[in-house]
Structure 1
Protein backbone atom coordinates (compact mmCIF):
# COMPACT_ATOMS: atom_id res chain seq x y z
CA UNK A 1 0.00 0.00 0.00
CA UNK A 2 1.23 3.48 -0.84
CA UNK A 3 1.68 5.97 2.01
CA UNK A 4 2.29 9.69 1.48
CA UNK A 5 4.63 11.28 4.06
CA UNK A 6 4.63 15.00 4.78
CA UNK A 7 7.62 17.09 5.86
CA UNK A 8 7.11 16.82 9.61
CA UNK A 9 6.62 13.07 9.40
CA UNK A 10 9.84 12.69 7.42
CA UNK A 11 11.66 14.47 10.26
CA UNK A 12 10.33 12.18 13.03
CA UNK A 13 13.22 9.68 12.96
CA UNK A 14 15.69 12.45 13.83
CA UNK A 15 13.41 14.44 16.14
CA UNK A 16 11.96 11.65 18.25
CA UNK A 17 14.07 8.57 17.47
CA UNK A 18 11.10 6.82 15.87
CA UNK A 19 11.95 4.44 13.03
CA UNK A 20 8.93 5.19 10.87
CA UNK A 21 10.22 2.99 8.05
CA UNK A 22 10.34 -0.22 10.10
CA UNK A 23 7.16 0.59 12.08
CA UNK A 24 5.28 1.07 8.81
CA UNK A 25 7.05 -1.59 6.74
CA UNK A 26 5.06 -3.05 3.93
CA UNK A 27 4.16 0.40 2.59
CA UNK A 28 5.53 2.11 -0.49
CA UNK A 29 6.63 5.48 0.92
CA UNK A 30 5.96 8.60 -1.13
CA UNK A 31 6.45 12.31 -0.63
CA UNK A 32 6.03 15.35 -2.83
CA UNK A 33 8.66 17.49 -4.53
CA UNK A 34 7.45 20.37 -2.33
CA UNK A 35 8.21 18.44 0.87
CA UNK A 36 11.73 17.67 -0.32
CA UNK A 37 12.25 21.34 -1.19
CA UNK A 38 10.97 22.31 2.25
CA UNK A 39 13.41 19.88 3.91
CA UNK A 40 16.30 21.27 1.85
CA UNK A 41 15.39 24.81 2.90
CA UNK A 42 15.26 23.80 6.58
CA UNK A 43 18.55 21.89 6.21
CA UNK A 44 20.30 25.09 5.10
CA UNK A 45 19.47 26.71 8.44
CA UNK A 46 21.07 26.24 11.83
CA UNK A 47 20.35 24.31 14.98
CA UNK A 48 18.42 21.12 15.61
CA UNK A 49 15.82 21.64 12.86
CA UNK A 50 18.61 21.80 10.26
CA UNK A 51 20.17 18.60 11.59
CA UNK A 52 16.77 16.87 11.65
CA UNK A 53 16.07 17.94 8.07
CA UNK A 54 19.47 16.65 6.88
CA UNK A 55 18.82 13.26 8.48
CA UNK A 56 15.32 13.22 6.95
CA UNK A 57 16.75 13.91 3.49
CA UNK A 58 19.33 11.12 3.86
CA UNK A 59 16.71 8.61 4.99
CA UNK A 60 14.25 9.71 2.31
CA UNK A 61 16.85 9.24 -0.40
CA UNK A 62 16.89 5.48 0.24
CA UNK A 63 13.31 4.90 1.37
CA UNK A 64 10.94 7.35 -0.31
CA UNK A 65 9.76 7.90 -3.88
CA UNK A 66 9.22 11.57 -4.78
CA UNK A 67 6.02 12.35 -6.69
CA UNK A 68 4.84 15.47 -8.50
CA UNK A 69 1.94 17.54 -7.24
CA UNK A 70 0.75 21.15 -7.51
CA UNK A 71 0.81 23.92 -4.91
CA UNK A 72 2.48 24.53 -1.55
CA UNK A 73 3.59 21.50 0.52
CA UNK A 74 0.27 20.99 2.34
CA UNK A 75 -1.96 21.56 -0.69
CA UNK A 76 0.29 19.27 -2.74
CA UNK A 77 -0.12 16.51 -0.14
CA UNK A 78 -3.89 17.02 -0.05
CA UNK A 79 -4.18 17.16 -3.84
CA UNK A 80 -2.15 13.99 -4.38
CA UNK A 81 -3.94 12.11 -1.59
CA UNK A 82 -7.40 12.99 -2.91
CA UNK A 83 -6.58 12.26 -6.56
CA UNK A 84 -4.96 8.92 -5.73
CA UNK A 85 -6.98 7.94 -2.63
CA UNK A 86 -3.66 7.62 -0.84
CA UNK A 87 -3.34 7.56 2.96
CA UNK A 88 -1.16 10.27 4.51
CA UNK A 89 1.27 10.15 7.42
CA UNK A 90 1.31 13.53 9.19
CA UNK A 91 1.08 15.23 12.56
CA UNK A 92 0.06 18.58 11.04
CA UNK A 93 -3.30 19.44 12.66
CA UNK A 94 -4.49 21.73 9.87
CA UNK A 95 -3.59 19.18 7.20
CA UNK A 96 -5.29 16.42 9.22
CA UNK A 97 -8.53 18.45 9.29
CA UNK A 98 -8.41 18.90 5.51
CA UNK A 99 -7.68 15.22 4.94
CA UNK A 100 -10.57 14.18 7.21
CA UNK A 101 -12.96 16.36 5.20
CA UNK A 102 -11.98 14.28 2.16
CA UNK A 103 -12.14 10.95 4.04
CA UNK A 104 -8.44 10.27 3.53
CA UNK A 105 -6.89 7.74 5.91
CA UNK A 106 -4.35 9.34 8.28
CA UNK A 107 -1.42 7.83 10.16
CA UNK A 108 0.19 9.91 12.91
CA UNK A 109 2.51 9.72 15.86
CA UNK A 110 1.02 9.64 19.35
CA UNK A 111 2.90 9.80 22.64
CA UNK A 112 6.13 10.23 20.62
CA UNK A 113 6.35 6.51 19.94
CA UNK A 114 3.03 4.99 18.98
CA UNK A 115 1.90 5.30 15.37
CA UNK A 116 -1.89 5.35 15.08
CA UNK A 117 -4.30 5.18 12.18
CA UNK A 118 -7.50 7.18 11.80
Structure 2
Protein backbone atom coordinates (compact mmCIF):
# COMPACT_ATOMS: atom_id res chain seq x y z
CA UNK A 1 0.00 0.00 0.00
CA UNK A 2 2.69 2.52 0.96
CA UNK A 3 4.93 3.46 -1.87
CA UNK A 4 8.52 3.66 -0.56
CA UNK A 5 9.04 7.00 -2.30
CA UNK A 6 5.85 8.39 -0.72
CA UNK A 7 6.89 7.20 2.73
CA UNK A 8 10.35 8.72 2.31
CA UNK A 9 8.87 12.10 1.40
CA UNK A 10 6.30 12.13 4.17
CA UNK A 11 7.14 14.57 6.95
CA UNK A 12 5.56 15.09 10.38
CA UNK A 13 4.09 18.42 9.22
CA UNK A 14 2.29 16.67 6.37
CA UNK A 15 0.85 14.12 8.78
CA UNK A 16 -0.33 16.85 11.16
CA UNK A 17 -1.94 18.88 8.35
CA UNK A 18 -3.80 15.76 7.21
CA UNK A 19 -4.90 15.08 10.80
CA UNK A 20 -6.19 18.66 11.19
CA UNK A 21 -8.12 18.34 7.92
CA UNK A 22 -9.66 15.07 9.12
CA UNK A 23 -10.59 16.69 12.43
CA UNK A 24 -12.26 19.61 10.66
CA UNK A 25 -14.18 17.32 8.31
CA UNK A 26 -15.21 14.40 10.52
CA UNK A 27 -14.66 15.38 14.15
CA UNK A 28 -12.54 14.04 16.96
CA UNK A 29 -14.37 10.71 17.10
CA UNK A 30 -13.27 9.92 13.53
CA UNK A 31 -9.66 10.97 14.05
CA UNK A 32 -7.14 8.14 14.28
CA UNK A 33 -3.70 7.32 12.91
CA UNK A 34 -5.42 4.79 10.62
CA UNK A 35 -7.79 7.46 9.23
CA UNK A 36 -4.89 9.87 8.68
CA UNK A 37 -2.93 7.11 6.94
CA UNK A 38 -5.87 6.41 4.63
CA UNK A 39 -6.13 10.10 3.81
CA UNK A 40 -2.42 10.19 2.91
CA UNK A 41 -2.46 6.87 1.05
CA UNK A 42 0.11 5.26 3.34
CA UNK A 43 0.11 2.53 5.97
CA UNK A 44 -0.79 3.32 9.55
CA UNK A 45 2.73 2.36 10.66
CA UNK A 46 4.10 5.07 8.39
CA UNK A 47 2.00 7.67 10.18
CA UNK A 48 3.01 6.26 13.57
CA UNK A 49 6.68 6.46 12.55
CA UNK A 50 6.25 10.24 12.42
CA UNK A 51 3.89 10.87 15.35
CA UNK A 52 4.49 7.76 17.53
CA UNK A 53 1.04 7.62 19.19
CA UNK A 54 -2.44 9.09 18.81
CA UNK A 55 -1.88 11.12 21.98
CA UNK A 56 1.33 12.58 20.56
CA UNK A 57 -0.46 13.30 17.27
CA UNK A 58 -3.08 15.30 19.21
CA UNK A 59 -0.32 17.22 21.02
CA UNK A 60 1.36 18.06 17.72
CA UNK A 61 -1.98 19.15 16.27
CA UNK A 62 -2.55 21.49 19.22
CA UNK A 63 0.99 22.85 18.83
CA UNK A 64 0.33 23.50 15.14
CA UNK A 65 -2.89 25.40 15.83
CA UNK A 66 -1.41 27.42 18.70
CA UNK A 67 1.73 28.08 16.66
CA UNK A 68 -0.42 30.20 14.35
CA UNK A 69 -1.31 32.62 17.17
CA UNK A 70 0.38 35.95 16.42
CA UNK A 71 2.52 37.21 19.29
CA UNK A 72 3.37 40.62 17.87
CA UNK A 73 1.80 43.94 18.90
CA UNK A 74 0.64 42.74 22.31
CA UNK A 75 -0.24 45.45 24.88
CA UNK A 76 2.43 46.24 27.44
CA UNK A 77 0.15 46.13 30.52
CA UNK A 78 0.21 42.55 31.88
CA UNK A 79 -3.55 42.19 32.41
CA UNK A 80 -4.45 43.57 28.97
CA UNK A 81 -1.65 41.49 27.42
CA UNK A 82 -3.10 38.32 28.96
CA UNK A 83 -6.63 39.22 27.78
CA UNK A 84 -5.46 39.91 24.23
CA UNK A 85 -3.42 36.72 24.11
CA UNK A 86 -6.44 34.75 25.36
CA UNK A 87 -8.58 36.34 22.61
CA UNK A 88 -6.03 35.34 19.97
CA UNK A 89 -5.81 31.77 21.25
CA UNK A 90 -9.61 31.54 21.28
CA UNK A 91 -9.79 32.81 17.69
CA UNK A 92 -7.22 30.18 16.65
CA UNK A 93 -9.28 27.41 18.27
CA UNK A 94 -12.75 28.55 17.16
CA UNK A 95 -12.70 27.15 13.61
CA UNK A 96 -12.41 23.63 15.03
CA UNK A 97 -14.79 24.24 17.93
CA UNK A 98 -17.54 25.64 15.68
CA UNK A 99 -17.34 23.01 12.95
CA UNK A 100 -20.61 21.13 12.30
CA UNK A 101 -19.30 17.96 13.97
CA UNK A 102 -18.73 19.78 17.26
CA UNK A 103 -22.44 19.41 18.08
CA UNK A 104 -21.48 16.11 19.67
CA UNK A 105 -19.71 18.01 22.47
CA UNK A 106 -20.93 17.08 25.94
CA UNK A 107 -23.75 19.25 27.20
CA UNK A 108 -25.37 19.74 30.55
CA UNK A 109 -29.07 18.82 30.90
CA UNK A 110 -29.70 22.30 32.35
CA UNK A 111 -27.00 24.54 30.92
CA UNK A 112 -26.25 27.64 32.93
CA UNK A 113 -24.45 30.68 31.55
CA UNK A 114 -21.32 29.51 33.37
CA UNK A 115 -21.53 26.01 31.88
CA UNK A 116 -22.09 27.49 28.42
CA UNK A 117 -18.98 29.64 28.75
CA UNK A 118 -16.97 26.66 29.92
CA UNK A 119 -18.00 24.58 26.88
CA UNK A 120 -17.03 27.33 24.46
CA UNK A 121 -13.69 28.09 26.10
CA UNK A 122 -10.39 26.87 24.62
CA UNK A 123 -10.01 24.49 27.57
CA UNK A 124 -13.03 22.53 26.37
CA UNK A 125 -10.98 21.13 23.49
CA UNK A 126 -9.15 18.24 25.05
CA UNK A 127 -7.88 15.01 23.53
CA UNK A 128 -10.27 12.14 24.26
Bigger helix share: 2
Q: TM-score, normalised by structure 2?
A: 0.23
Which entry has the higher C-alpha Rg, 1 or 2?
A: 2
Structure number with the higher strand fraction is: 1
TM-score, normalised via structure 1 length? 0.24
> Which of structures 1 and 2 has the larger relative contact order (alpha carbons within 8 angstroms, sep 6+)?
1
